[in-house]
Amino acid sequence: MSESIPNSTSARKPVRMCVRCHRITDAPVVVAEVHQNSGPGWNMYACPQCASHFPPVPDVIDLFPSRRGPGEDGAG
């Protein structure tokens, strides 16, 4: 049996529904990341026209407070 490998030039474009206007877009922009305690989270997408109505997605590492106490900056 032989399986054909898809050609990278004919790759399918991503298609998502905009969370704001509910239209289907082939140029989705991630506007939110939903995290869960158990199981995988998911991304929320918007079309390029609606994406500017959302704040930038923060880096999840920046949301955690620093575990270092005063004077523990690593300088030694």
Residue range 24-40, pLDDT digits in tens: 999 999 999 888 889 89
Distance CA 18, CA 48 (A): 9
Global pTM value: 0.63
Confidence band, pLDDT 50/70/90 cuts, at residue 43: very high
Predicted confidence at residue 7, as pLDDT, reads: 60
Confidence band, pLDDT 50/70/90 cuts, at residue 2: low
Sequence-ordered list of residues with C-beta below 8 angstroms from that of 31, at least 6 positions apart, any chain: 19, 44, 45, 46, 51, 54, 57
What is the greatest pairwise CA distance in the chain?
64
**CA nearest neighbour of 44 among 29, 59, 60:** 29
